[in-house]
Amino acid sequence: HVQLVESGGGSVQTGGSLRLSCALSLNPTSDYCLAWLRQAPGKEREGVAGIDTDGTTNYAESVKGRFTISRDNAKNALYLQMNSLKPEDSSMYFCAADPPREPQGCREVQASNVYSYWGQGTQVTVS
């Protein structure tokens, strides 16, 4: 039974930091493309950061230089370190997972923002 469980959200002041975690029950974690996405009320869901099976990362332009995605396959965990937070970062954050797809592997998954497995979300509020 696949399960993704986020934690670490909360309220923080502008300029502050938060670290989101996602506990993964994938078998094995190393075979999956992982990502963080967010969705604010009335807005479309957007990809924030993705990490490939080989550890290659990519970020939305709006968070480059401020957010860092990482994975620990041995601990079955995904992380998002968020620094220099801005009010516009306020949103529900979701972790997601999907196996690589042809022909470009994790890039195909990230370009579509379509993932097979999702967490329930964790709220981040920046004021």
Handedness of CA 28, 70, 54, 89 (dihedral sign): positive
Cα atoms in the 13 Å half-sphere on the side-chain side of 37: 21
pLDDT tens for 35-71 read 999 999 999 999 999 999 999 999 999 999 999 999 9
d(CA 91, CA 119): 14
Residues in the chain with pLDDT values less than 70 = none
pLDDT, position 57: 97
Contact present, 72 and 79 (Cβ < 8 Å): yes
For residue 63, which of 87, 89, 91, 37 has the smallest C-alpha distance? 89
pLDDT at 104: 86
State the pLDDT at residue 103.
87
> What is d(CA 19, CA 15) in angstroms, rounded to the nearest whole number?
14
